[in-house]
Amino acid sequence: MTDLTTSTAVTVTMTVNGVEHSSELDPRTLLVDHIRTGLGLTGTHIGCDTTSCGVCTVLLDGKPIKACTMFAVMADGAEIMTVEGLKQNGELHPVQAAFKEKHGLQCGYCTPAMMLVGAALLEENDDPGDDEVRWAISGNLCRCTGYMNIVESIQEAGAQMRAGSNGVEADDMELQDEQTDADRPKEATMQEVAE
């Protein structure tokens, strides 16, 4: 039996939705718990124990990741966007408007995650096909909608962005990325297995 004594707190500074937060944290604090409990941003949800459902998705330096499978200390110095950061200058992000317009949500529990994944996808490709959207959201479960309207919502948001919707300027979503420059996602080879 390992001794479960409290460990030394670590200072963590991260920028969440454009605001810098410094906190003293037990290193075992999961990023999702820090966001929900420490920062009070409850739009990020928790749905499983096994990194499967994706309802805890946030954007880390612009990329969607599962905040349940990252310690908050690992986000030191990172830029994070949660669902609460999508709306900027009083304007809904096109993806938010489109989810309402196209009925892309029912219970709303997976919606913040789906919108963030959609927003990140549209930054790379504002005219994705059905399969491209389905591929992009395949790390995120939904139990209500059957996904069709989620796909349509993300595509509709892309159409609005292409039409120069007054939502967020593309630059606003461009979060600095100092990790690697090899991360411009290219379209995954969706070669069907075993063809």
Which residues ranging from 39 to 78 are in contact with another protein (CB under 8 A)?
A: 41-55, 57, 60, 63-66, 68-71, 73-74, 76
11 binds another protein (CB under 8 A): no
- Residue 14 phi/psi, 5-degree rounding, is -140, 155
Q: Nearer to another protein by C-beta: 22 or 179?
A: 179
The residue type of 119 is A
Helix (H) or strand (E) holding 149: helix 148-162
Smallest distance from the beta carbon of 127 to another protein, in angstroms?
Answer: 18
Selected binder of another protein within 14, 29, 39, 80 (CB under 8 A): 29
105-to-4, 32, 82, 115, 116 alpha-carbon distances in Å:
41, 22, 17, 10, 14
Is the CB of 140 or the CB of 160 nearer to another protein? 140
Classify the phi-psi angles of 11: left when phi > 0, otherwise alpha if psi is within -120 to 50, otherwise beta. Answer: beta
Options 24, 169, 174, 183; binder of another protein; rule CB under 8 A: 183
Going across the sheet that includes 10-16, the strands are: 19-25, 10-16, 79-81, 57-60, 63-66
Q: How far is Cα 39 from Cα 65, in angstroms, rounded to an integer?
A: 18
Closer CB to another protein, 20 or 192, in the complex:
192
| Bridge partners for 71 per DSSP | 30
Name which of residues 111 to 170 contact another protein (CB under 8 A): 111-112, 115, 117, 130, 133-151
When binding is defined by CB under 8 A, the residue of 103, 127, 170, 176 that contacts another protein is: 103
Selected from 15, 26, 38, 159, the binder of another protein by CB under 8 A is 26
CB of residue 89 to another protein, shortest distance in Å: 14
